[in-house]
């Protein structure tokens, strides 16, 4: 089964991807990680990408897609979750040309709860460690340093980020309308895990495991 992970910034996609990877053995394809890996390993694609980044330019879509194609060739025999791709209908159409997507998991948190979570997030002054969303810690778990609210996480920035996301994702959600499954992540970690377990076992029954 091949899944796409969608979600607003701060909705907890990383947390869900970790569970899919560690507890269900999904092959996690994150375009951000893929880009960093190609650059670190000095692959041909990585070198070209690095050239763009050194100039302060965005890595072209085609190049990211080529890396994705390479990676998909390696994961043929596994259940797979795509994270960070596609971001547009155009990318979704390209992806459909090389892999069959069974379902799209949308990690959903209502905007007001999301804003509250992001704004309550704190950074350690000493080591830069970010407190977990929803935790009310006053000192850093890693080093005991002082935690402060992040200056760039003000209401306007967060609201703006959400609006941009909601607008750019709307067409994508429409494109995948018959594949979308909503995972409500507004409750506790345990509640989300339970819902996720139910969704994944239903999906695996329906689409089967890749073998």
Residues that bind Zn ion (CB under 5 A): 124, 126-127, 129, 140, 142-143, 145
Compare residues 20 and 140 and give the one whose CB is closer to Zn ion.
Answer: 140
Q: For residues 92 and 172, is the Cβ–Cβ distance under 8 A?
A: yes
Q: Active site residue: 37, 78, 150, 173, which one?
A: 150
Whose Cβ is closer to Zn ion: residue 40's or residue 143's? 143
* Residues 144/156, Cβ–Cβ less than 8 Å: no
Catalytic site includes residue 121: yes
142 is a catalytic site residue = no
- For the CB of residue 144, give the shortest distance to Zn ion in the complex, in Å: 7
Cβ–Cβ under 8 Å, residues 126 and 140: yes
Structure tokens at 49: 């990408």
13 labelled catalytic: yes
Tell me whether residue 90 or residue 143 sits nearer to Zn ion (CB atom).
Answer: 143
Q: Which long-range contacts (CB under 8 A, 24 or more apart) does 21-28 make?
A: 21/81, 24/79, 24/200, 25/78, 25/79, 26/78, 26/79, 26/80, 26/81, 27/75, 27/78, 27/79, 27/80, 27/81, 28/80, 28/81, 28/83
Catalytic site residue from 161, 173, 193, 195: 161
CA distance 103 to 127: 39
Rounded to a whole number of angstroms, the minimum distance from the CB of residue 127 to Zn ion is 3
Which of residues 131 and 192 has its CB atom nearest to Zn ion in the complex? 131
From 87, 173, 179, 193, active-site residue: 87
36 is catalytic: no
Cβ 123 to Zn ion, closest distance in Å?
A: 9
| Residues forming the active site | 13, 87, 121, 150, 161
């Amino acid at each position: 089964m091949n899944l796409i992970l969608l979600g607003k910034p701060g909705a907890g996609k990383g947390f869900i991807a970790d569970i899919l990877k560690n507890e269900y053995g999904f092959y996690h394809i994150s375009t951000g990680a893929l880009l960093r890996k190609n650059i670190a390993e000095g692959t041909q694609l990585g070198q070209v990408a690095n050239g763009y980044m050194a100039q302060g330019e965005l890595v072209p879509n085609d190049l990211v897609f080529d890396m994705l194609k390479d990676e998909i060739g390696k994961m043929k025999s596994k259940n797979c979750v795509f994270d960070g791709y596609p971001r547009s209908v155009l990318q979704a159409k390209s992806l459909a040309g090389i892999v069959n997507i069974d379902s799209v998991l949308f990690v959903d948190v209502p905007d007001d709860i999301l804003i509250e979570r992001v704004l309550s997030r704190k950074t350690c002054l000493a080591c830069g460690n970010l407190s977990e969303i929803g935790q009310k810690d006053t000192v850093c778990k890693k080093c005991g340093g002082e935690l402060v609210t992040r200056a760039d996480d003000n209401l306007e920035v967060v609201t703006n980020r959400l609006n941009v996301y909601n607008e750019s994702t709307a067409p994508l959600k429409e494109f995948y309308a018959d594949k979308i499954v909503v995972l409500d992540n507004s409750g506790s970690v345990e509640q989300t895990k339970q819902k996720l377990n139910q969704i994944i076992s239903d999906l695996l029954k329906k689409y089967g495991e890749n073998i």
